[in-house]
Chain A
């Protein structure tokens, strides 16, 4: 199936292959090797940079920061994986995150009451807003036959515009130079778990989400149905699964997760909604790459999310101490996925160097490939 990308109806992730047939290890080595070359070519010291990156991710406050940043990365990866599993290519995570995040922030700022009430309500409202935003492209596909791949992406720019307008003209805090809302009152901020020097309780939320998705997909009927729809839409429809309804359903779930994560970014991290910050953070896209690397498996998403989070946090330390821009982390992440999607594996590499295979030749699908 993976041999015929243009005919294969399967969802994005399912085409890459399962864990055993997954060229993740080779791809990581490949990406780091290319990154090494890029740093060296631009006049940096690659070994020093990589060491600073590693140290920065796990030592000192690095571990706490890595865990904290893994919360939105894993969350957004789960959101996108829910859609990918059903063959729904949702590129609108960014928009779902900013719309939900702003909605949740408004609740946290203006709703009176104790934190135990305000925080959950803000999360729910943020999730609902994200879900509603995600329903636009979902209904566009099921009712108007517009591909979600395109509409969800275009709506990101519309979401930026709407939230930017609201922050600038309706919710602006005049007392600061930032284009930002007021601060979330201290009572409505997410409390911290007293480990590693304080990690937001959202971490538990994300871990619970990982487990729930793992159980739902591994054990339940609806998990089976979404998986079938992802593997082969036509067959699933023939078997009585309502693919259209499912598209709407998974998009709503993906949008809701995105909205909750967006809300967490304000209530548990920044404490004020600064226009453009969530977009600039690139978290939704990092999450998408994590889902691809983990092949949509919830437990692997947790692992890959921690890895990419560590890359980014370590990258910041590398920037401070080795004078190499943290954006190298973004390059490495994208290169890993380019290599995974090109199915670069040790066997491919070996065959090429041993016998000089022609570029067009592709080895037969591995045993593990879905």
Chain B
């Protein structure tokens, strides 16, 4: 039984499920470090997915899709940054409203621009190619999966150590964390909290946009309404569970992706899709319970207690 479940195909679907979550979670992590409460990744990812398909359709080239996706993510992130940083609005309210705006806007643009409802598939939409890395991809089992992914997957994996270096070994990272932890001290040292917070939110817009591009041009080649289907929220939990540390966020993303990949596989083995769809969220809830001592800050933020 286990031989049939755990094979290279499962491993591959886990990696594919992981990339969007990891990209979005890394963006959320940067915001968390800068002291901006970021729950708009879901909306940024969905906007990115739509823009990716639109860009790829226009140019019949996935590269433009990725550029459009980044643009869409940044656009939403600017609305969040303006509201939450410049206007000091409630980041929770803004996040929820922006997520709903993304659902509405993509659902609006789909029929208005492409004349379809629900799902948009077209031969003009160019998917992201898998790039096999020479030599490494010849390693049996692991190599054929890990080193045979889209460019965005390599970006996501490389960002984990890079962001660790930036956050903990560079002046920029130090200032960013300073802005998040001791904003007044940072400001008295001449660091502009507003600039750093804007930078963090925009960075999360870029990364969530890329997550959307991977979803719509990598994992599948189409746009479906509400196709982010909760992954942005799973990314929020990954940031919490990983305590905004790059390697721990990676681990949390892997856990959720494993649940999603396993669900996908069990579905093939005849388990109802209704049950397998819930698997990542059940695993997320169980992981939350297991790591429950970690959420003091969010609890303070949302209950005043």
Contacts and interface: CB of A to CB of B under 8 A. Distances in A.
A245 interface: no
Interface in A263-321: 282, 285, 288-289, 292
A324 interface: yes
A153 interface: yes
Interface string B233-275: 1001100100000000000000000000000000000001011
B59 interface: no
Interface stretch (B64-72, B147-155, B216-224, B277-285): B277-285
A331 B104 contact: yes
A327 B225 CA distance: 12
B91 interface: yes
A327 B104 contact: yes
Contact of A324 (B100, B112, B277): B112
B91 A5 contact: yes
B200 to A, nearest CB: 14
Which of B96, B105, B277 is the most central at the interface, judged by chain A CB atoms within 10 Å of its CB?
Answer: B96
Interface stretch (A38-46, A53-61, A183-191): A38-46
A91 B42 CA distance: 14
Nearest to B229: A157
Nearest to A324: B112
A16 B90 contact: yes
B223 to A, nearest CB: 14
Given A9-B303, A149-B298, A330-B100, A158 B281 contact: yes
B101 A331 contact: yes
A322 B111 CA distance: 13
B88 A5 contact: yes
Interface string A152-173: 0111011011101100110000
A234 B194 contact: no
Contact of B302 (A140, A149, A282, A288): A149
Interface in B57-92: 79, 82-92
Nearest to A326: B108
Nearest to B105: A331
Given A87-B302, A337-B97, A168 B104 contact: no
B98 interface: yes
Contacts of B111: 325, 327
Contacts of A341: 83, 89-90, 93-94, 97
Contact of A4 (B83, B88, B274, B282): B88
Contacts of B103: 282, 330
Contacts of B281: 154-155, 157-158, 161
B236 to A, nearest CB: 7
A59 B293 CA distance: 56
Interface residues of B, number: 60
Which of B88, B282, B296 is the most central at the interface, judged by chain A CB atoms within 10 Å of its CB?
Answer: B88
B189 interface: no
B274 A359 contact: no
Nearest to A232: B304
Given A234-B305, A334-B97, A150 B107 contact: no
Contacts of A89: 92, 302
A3 interface: yes
Interface in A225-276: 229, 232-234, 236-237, 243, 247
Contacts of B135: none
Given A16-B93, A151-B285, A165-B275, A234 B304 contact: yes
A44 B109 CA distance: 12
B107 A330 contact: yes
Contacts of A88: 303
A232 B305 CA distance: 8
Interface of B: 35, 37, 79, 82-94, 96-98, 100-101, 103-105, 107-113, 194, 230, 233, 236-237, 240, 272, 274-275, 277-278, 281-282, 284-285, 288-289, 292-293, 295-296, 298-305
6 contacts: A42-B113, A149-B298, A151-B288, A154-B237, A229-B304, A338-B94
- Which 4 A-B pairs have CB atoms at the shortest separation, nearest pair first? A9-B304, A233-B304, A330-B104, A161-B278
